[in-house]
Amino acid sequence: KMGKSDGFLTPKAISNRIKAKGLTKLRWYCQLCQKACRDENGYKCHTMSESHLRQVRVFSESPGSFIEYYSREFEDAFMEVLRRKGEHVRTKANSIWMEVIADRHHVHLNATRWVSLTEFVKYLGREGKAEVDEDEEGKWYVRYVNRDPEKIRRQEGLAKKEEMGPGDHA
């Protein structure tokens, strides 16, 4: 008689653990519950579960706050990856996005207020959070803009010293 513990080494159990580690298809991911399902049937069962229905009720009471929360989380993750690339590095927005979504528990873009990566990148440019430009092929590039108040003060101080000239220091 095989015990429950022996089931850990079966080919099926090993296969299931390997599958559970990787990313799943976007269409079978529930952002509200932060649950990835392996297939259509698993997703269908999940959407009928009591815990999911409870989350849907909570969401329906205040959808705007959830979308704002997810938007902030997505933006923070994107900006963190962009910041790590460096201040003066022009990078394809899509490659930053690929790095963000490599994290299994990332916030999915379709849970945010932006309908596409292009819309999100344009938002970053409008808000001055990144320098953005589009090449002739329609690919978007981003460059990190450091908004640290201390760094801005130092740069302004250096600019004033340069304006005063070499012998004008007080």
Residue 38's CB is within 10 A of a number of other CB atoms, namely 14
Q: Predicted confidence band at 76 (pLDDT cuts at 50, 70, 90)?
A: very high
Answer whether 141's CB lies under 8 Å from 92's CB: yes
Question: Please, what's the largest Cα pairwise distance for the chain?
Answer: 92
pLDDT in tens, 41-69: 888 888 899 988 888 888 888 888 889 99
In whole angstroms, give the CA distance from residue 124 to residue 117. 11
Average confidence (pLDDT) over 65-77: 92
Please report how the helices 93-101 and 63-85 are oriented relative to each other, as an axis angle in degrees rounded to 10. 110
Sorting pLDDT into bands at 50, 70 and 90, what band is 27? low
Asked if residues 145 and 130 have their Cβ atoms less than 8 Å apart, the reply is yes
* Positions of CATH 1.10.10.2030 in the chain: 63-170
Name the residue with higher pLDDT: 84 or 161: 84
The pLDDT of residue 170 is above 70: no
Query: What is the value of pTM for the model shown?
Result: 0.66
Average pLDDT over residues 115-130: 94
Angle between helices 117-126 and 63-85 (to 10 degrees): 80
- 62 against 80, higher pLDDT: 80
* Res 167: pLDDT: 59
- In words, the CATH class of domain 63-170 is mainly alpha
Read off the tokens for 30: 């529930």
- Residue 3's pLDDT is what? 52
Pairwise CA distance, residues 116 & 34, whole Å: 20
Interatomic CA distance for residues 134 and 117, integer angstroms: 13
